[in-house]
Each structure stands twice: as structure tokens, then as C-alpha cells.
Amino acid sequence: MPIKVREGGAWVQVSDGANGADGVNGTGKVLQLKSSTSTTMVQSTTDKTYYILNNNITFNAVGTNSQFFVIGYAHVYSTPQSTLARHNIGFDVFYGLNGSSVPSGGTVQARIAGVDGAMGDTWGCDAGGSGQTGTTLNRSALWVPSSGLIPANTWLQFQLLGGRWDTNLTSNWNWSDPTLGSYNHNNIITVMEIAA
């Protein structure tokens, strides 16, 4: 499909679009898009450390030296109520060692977004400071692996993480009331592989 831009009052064709997003070599073209939704409730008393929210995406890279745009969404409710409870979400990736197409070849872990510890970024939105309060969290990050690190067909697993700053609390992700049941919240992770 031709790619056109508006110059002055007229549309000018800058590419026939045949070779990819930039009309030259495909740089910026989305090679694949994967998404996963989980409704499973995850509870944790951990503070200042990120942990997996029972949601991940596993696939093999299409291109070599691709970049990966990761988007996350989650709902969290903290107990006890009326206590400051700051939360954030982040992302981990595991990838096949030396470009392995299967995890049994060995894996390497990398943190894409989310910093643990006393100087970390779990200090986010409040999810409990004013009574029966929950909050939704959104975050995105671009992972640009070092050149040659992720050849085509490399096994990848992206994980959605959650974390809380404040102590002596329980974080309830995708809260489900013991009596009333689920409130139909979910968490979502989406990954776009983009040609470099």
C-alpha cells in the first residue's frame, strides 16, 4: 500500500510501501503482536520487590535484532483498607541462551521495567489509602536487546510483574471476594515485535 504524507495542501507519495514501514528495509514494521489476559487472583505480602502476576507470553522471534514494545495493565486492591498502599507494574523477559529456540537450551533473564529495593520504583499509585479503593495501573516499555543477542527463532517469554512499596499489607491483584466472587478484573500483557 502506498505511503503518503501531506505537504501544504496536497498528498505526496513517499513510498510504494512494498518493502516495509519505511519503504526501504522494513524498519519499524510490526512483525508480530501477542497478548495475554489473566483473571487469576494473585495475593502477596511482599514489599519493594516485583513478582510475577501469573501472566506471561511465550513465542519465538520472527526477525533478527528486533525491538520489543511491551504494554501492561493491572488492577490491584490492598488490605487492610485505609492504609497507604503504593503499587506499580513492570516486566521481565526470559530468552533462549545463544539464540536457542527452546527453553531447554538454557535461558537468560532480563528486567525490562521495574526496579526493586528501597530506591526502586514500586512507589506508584495508591490502592488502599481511602477505604475500599483499588487502582488500575498501566505501563509500557521498549526493550532494545544488544545487537546479535536475539536472532530469529529465539525463544522468548515476557512476564507481567507487580510490586508494592508500603509494608505490612496484602496486595490483591484481580480481587475476588471470598463471599461475592470475582469483580471481573483482569491483567493484560501485550508485546509487539518490531523490525529494527
Picking from 76-85, 119-128, 129-138, 187-196, which range would have the lowest pLDDT averaged per residue? Answer: 129-138
* Tens of pLDDT, residues 156-178: 999 999 999 999 999 999 988 88
pTM > 0.75: yes
What are the structural domains, with CATH classification, of the chain? 26-194 (2.60.120)
Selected residue with higher pLDDT from 16 and 66: 66
- Give me the pLDDT at residue 107, please: 86
User: Is 188 strand, coil or helix?
Assistant: strand
How far is it, in rounded angstroms, from Cα 180 to Cα 23?
Answer: 55
| Residues 147/63, Cβ–Cβ less than 8 Å | no
| Residues 90/114, Cβ–Cβ less than 8 Å | yes
| Residues 41/172, Cβ–Cβ less than 8 Å | yes
- Give me the pLDDT at residue 22, please: 46
- The pLDDT of 91-115, averaged and rounded, is 89
User: Is 130 strand, coil or helix?
Assistant: coil
- The pLDDT of 44-67, averaged and rounded, is 95
How far is it, in rounded angstroms, from Cα 34 to Cα 1?
Answer: 24
Query: Which cell goes with 163?
Result: 510490586
- Give me the pLDDT at residue 69, please: 97
171 Cα distance to chain centroid: 19
Give DSSP secondary structure letters for 157-181: EEEEEEEE-SSS-EEEET-EETTTE
- Give me the pLDDT at residue 10, please: 61
Asked whether residue 8 carries a pLDDT value surpassing 60, the answer given is no
The average confidence (pLDDT) of the chain is 86
Predicted confidence band at 49 (pLDDT cuts at 50, 70, 90)?
very high
Q: Which amino acid is present at 185?
A: H
What lies within 8 Å, CB to CB, of 168 at 6+ separation is: none
